[in-house]
Amino acid sequence: MGKGDPGRVRGGTAHLSSLTTHEPYRRRGYAEATVAMFLGTVRERGCRTVTLYAGEAAGGPYGKPGFGQLTNAMMLVPD
């Protein structure tokens, strides 16, 4: 799904990023429901692979649908 065109699929891979639940709304299932809706949508559009980058605290909404740790990504933002 490309930036600016949420219906676009490239090469059968989708990427999930920037999912945040504000503190007062955590532990209510919102993130899990959002991930489930996202996965359903990308499956309908032909995606067979989904990637994401998440912090350690974010395991809950991603572990249930079957996401697993592959690697530790790193990034440098030069001054």
The tens digit of pLDDT for each residue in 2-39 reads 455 555 666 688 888 778 889 999 889 898 899 899 98
Instruction: State the maximum Cα–Cα separation within the chain, in Å, rounded to a whole number.
Output: 41
- 59 falls within a domain: yes
Residue 49 DSSP label? E
Domain of 22, in residue numbers: 13-63
Q: What is the mean pLDDT of the chain?
A: 76
Residue 2's pLDDT is what? 45
Tokens 């990023």 — which residue?
17
Provide the number of structural domains found in the chain. Answer: 1
Going from the C-alpha of 73 to that of each of 9, 13, 32, 57, the distances in angstroms are 23, 18, 23, 16
Residue percentage of the chain with pLDDT more than 90: 10
Q: How many helices (H) and strands (E) does the chain have?
A: 2, 2
**What's the pTM value of the predicted model, to 2 decimals?**
0.67
- 29 falls within a domain: yes
Q: What is the mean pLDDT of residues 36-58?
A: 81
The rounded distance, in Å, linking the Cα atoms of 13 and 27 is: 29
